[in-house]
Amino acid sequence: MRIGAHVGVAGGYAAAVDYAVSVGCECLQVFAKSPRQWNAKPFDPDAARAFRDRVAELDAGPVFVHTSYLINLGSSDDDLWRKSYEALADELRRGELLGARGVITHTGTAYKENPAYTAQRIAGGVDRAWELADVSRPRILLENTAGAGTTFGDGPQELGTILALLGESAGCVGVCLDTCHAHAAGWDLSRADVWNELVTAFEWCCGMPIEAVHANDCMFAAGLHKDRHAWVGDGTIGYPGFAAMFAEERLRGVPAIIEMPGDVPRKDVENITRLKRLRDGAAGS
Ligand SMILES: [Zn+2]
Ligand SMILES: [Zn+2]
């Protein structure tokens, strides 16, 4: 597994690549626009080219884009739903400019009392975004959630339900596993046997391999639906849990990205070092 981090772009996109490499990243994730605003000015093609060149030069990829937190593809409100798929289309175009392999998005909050409707709504939104964006490269990766409140997509089953309903975009959509979210949703990833079960469940329910991992430890116990990321080894997944991740053969070629709280560069240097140590340990055994 290549190991990387979600990195900030306040200093510019090309500089973000330099930062990523300086803290040990072998892949990276960025926001392609402010994650808390609907609108953003169009991407500057020169900045995008400089970013792509830097990634190639430093072998810093693959690159992933994480979408805005405002996107809610499961909304029953027509205006919000339309805004959401238009925003996802915009993220895909930005992802294409950045040379991203995948655009990772949460599926949205919705109505647990009517999961079939919600899944249908999300799949329809993904299809429309794909059609509008008209991109060639980036895949849409649906990320599992912690299952807090009314969020949809808390595991392989819900994600698989969405995937099965896709039309236009089928074949261009995959899944991203967030370890903190899965743990919070009830898969106790401190245990190697649960890792095995979870990866198998993804294969069965989604019919495809996991394409990216967000390797975050979790501050709260498994099953509490609390999405609070902890540093690798400091949370309730712990070192044994991440060692089990590296031992899982079906994840061997999958990029792992950290999304950590704390101050840069220490949070990135420290967490990447910890993960690399575990990966080396798995390779040595
Ligand atoms: Zn995540
Ligand atoms: Zn999270």
Instruction: Specify the residue for token string 């510019």.
Output: 12
Cβ neighbours around 208 below 10 Å, total? 14
For position 154, what pLDDT does the model report? 81
Q: State the distance from the centre of ligand 2 to the C-alpha of 57, rounded, in angstroms.
A: 31
98-132 pLDDT, tens digit each: 999 999 999 887 665 688 889 999 999 999 999 99
78-98 pLDDT, tens digit each: 999 999 999 999 999 999 999
Q: State the distance from the centre of ligand 2 to the C-alpha of 72, rounded, in angstroms.
A: 16
228-272 pLDDT, tens digit each: 999 999 999 999 999 999 999 999 999 999 999 999 999 999 999
Q: State the distance from the centre of ligand 1 to the C-alpha of 140, rounded, in angstroms.
A: 14
Which tokens in the block code for residue 204?
A: 């069965």
Across the chain, mean pLDDT equals 95
Bond from prior residue into 209 cis (ω within 30 degrees of 0): no
Q: State the distance from the centre of ligand 2 to the C-alpha of 216, rounded, in angstroms.
A: 8
Which has the closest alpha carbon to 191: 148, 234, 225, 236? Answer: 236
Q: State the distance from the centre of ligand 2 to the C-alpha of 151, rounded, in angstroms.
A: 12
For position 191, what pLDDT does the model report? 98
Q: State the distance from the centre of ligand 2 to the C-alpha of 187, rounded, in angstroms.
A: 15
35-69 pLDDT, tens digit each: 999 989 999 999 999 999 999 999 999 999 999 99
Residues 178-195 have a mean pLDDT of 97
**What is the rounded distance in angstroms from the CA atom of residue 67 to the CA atom of residue 71?**
8
Q: Domains in the chain, start-ordered, CATH in brackets?
A: 3-284 (3.20.20.150)
Q: State the distance from the centre of ligand 2 to the C-alpha of 45, rounded, in angstroms.
A: 30
User: Which string of DSSP letters, residue by residue, matches 15-70?
Assistant: HHHHHHHHTT-SSEEEESS-TT-S--PPP-HHHHHHHHHHHHHHT---EEEEPPTT
Q: State the distance from the centre of ligand 2 to the C-alpha of 229, rounded, in angstroms.
A: 6
For position 112, what pLDDT does the model report? 58
For position 113, what pLDDT does the model report? 66
Is residue 150 predicted with pLDDT exceeding 80? no
CA 284 to chain centre: 28
